[in-house]
Amino acid sequence: MSSGQESVFSEYETDTSQTSKLLRKFKETPFVPIGMAGFAMVVGYGLYRLKHRGDMKMSLHLIHMRVAAQGFVVGAITCGVLYSMFQEYMKPKE
């Protein structure tokens, strides 16, 4: 193996704790956990409202919840992309 590959592998091997890997990923991409949390909240709210949906059909209720959950995730991804673009283009010139 070349020295470049060894350094990459050793970097990942030193960080063996699952918690530290997860925290590192959250720091690199902060909007992914926000999107996941929003998706979970929409699903939880949808399950709560499922009991009190009245005369609304089940399929219509599920479609509304799916659209809301997907919209939240797409919004979080869009904010993440805009945030990373802003960070990249607003770097101070050297």
The pLDDT tens digits of the residues spanning 47-82 come to: 888 888 788 888 888 898 889 888 888 888 888 888
* Alpha carbon 94 to chain centroid, angstroms: 32
Residue range 28-55: average pLDDT?
82
Cα–Cα distance between 31 and 80 in angstroms, integer? Answer: 5
**How is the chain split into domains, by residue range?**
4-88
Q: How confident is the model at residue 32 (pLDDT cuts 50, 70, 90)?
A: confident
Cα–Cα distance between 13 and 7 in angstroms, integer? Answer: 10
Residue range 85-89: average pLDDT?
85
Contacts of 24 (CB under 8 A, 6+ apart): 15
Whose CA is closest to 41, among 79, 71, 83?
Answer: 71
